[in-house]
Amino acid sequence: MTKLLVIYYSSYGHMFKMARAAADAVRDKENYEVKLKKIPELEQARKGMSSQEAYVKAREAQKDIPEATHDDLVWADGIIWGIPTRFGNMPAQVKQFIDTAGSLWAEGKLEGKATGIMSSSNTAHGGQESTILTSLIPLLHLGMIFVGSPYGENQEMFSDKLIGGSPYGPSTIAGSDGSMMPAEEDLTMAGRLARRVARVASKIKDLD
């Protein structure tokens, strides 16, 4: 079995939907085992945002998704990340999760794992691509092998519609007030990245 982890953080549900689409795309495939996990919320963020209806609703929708631990990273052969944009970069919740994985780095426990990244932002040019590219830096330090989303298998990226997607990874546009939800095309591209990471992870495993 090739083990796949879809791990995400989501304040308002966009990355949650993308992560679920990614997990669903590989869930029933023979020879793959899939876990969908959310990165734990930070207490300060919970306090700051719990007056927002959209946040409360999105947290409620995710209540049955188990929280990720570092053991999940070690367990997986392939890891798909859902990382929304905060000022063109990853949220503190994701940073905290990665920054506390120092012992895994020291022991080389995450080296050789296939990985891909998805993102979201409110505006079309608000930083989805920079979030994916900057999130890649710590993953490379941890020794992971990056899998992108090429144009060949993602023809949706040639569309003139207001959708996400880049060669760096799938993404979605939440809209200036956060009320847009991932387009069908975004969810399709999320699933394709998951399948691509799965294929690469299974091949790398064969090399071990």
Ligand X SMILES: Cc1cc2nc3c(=O)[nH]c(=O)nc-3n(C[C@H](O)[C@H](O)[C@H](O)COP(=O)(O)O)c2cc1C
CB of residue 142 to ligand X, shortest distance in Å: 23
Among 3, 14, 113, 192, binds ligand X (CB under 6 A): 14
Burial of 27 (0-12, 13-18, 19+ CB in 10 A): middle
Is 126 one of the binding residues for ligand X (CB under 6 A)?
A: yes
Is 122 one of the binding residues for ligand X (CB under 6 A)?
A: yes
CB of residue 120 to ligand X, shortest distance in Å: 4
Is 36 one of the binding residues for ligand X (CB under 6 A)?
A: no
Which one-letter amino acid corresponds to residue 190?
A
Residue nearest ligand X, CB atom distance:
126
Is 148 one of the binding residues for ligand X (CB under 6 A)?
A: no
C-alpha–C-alpha distance, residues 17 and 10, integer Å? 9
Burial of 30 (0-12, 13-18, 19+ CB in 10 A): exposed
C-alpha–C-alpha distance, residues 114 and 17, integer Å? 22
Pick between residue 115 and residue 122 the one whose CB is nearest to ligand X: 122
C-alpha–C-alpha distance, residues 59 and 41, integer Å? 10
CA torsion, ordered 33, 62, 134, 5, to nearest 10 deg: -10
Is 164 one of the binding residues for ligand X (CB under 6 A)?
A: no
C-alpha–C-alpha distance, residues 47 and 136, integer Å? 29
Is 10 one of the binding residues for ligand X (CB under 6 A)?
A: yes
Site residues (CB under 6 A) for ligand X, limited to 70-89: 84-88
Pick between residue 18 and residue 73 the one whose CB is nearest to ligand X: 18
Q: Which stretch binds ligand X (CB under 6 A): 11-19, 132-140, 187-195, 199-207?
A: 11-19
Is 170 one of the binding residues for ligand X (CB under 6 A)?
A: no
Count of beta carbons in the 10 Å neighbourhood of residue 34: 22
Is 12 one of the binding residues for ligand X (CB under 6 A)?
A: yes
Is 20 one of the binding residues for ligand X (CB under 6 A)?
A: no
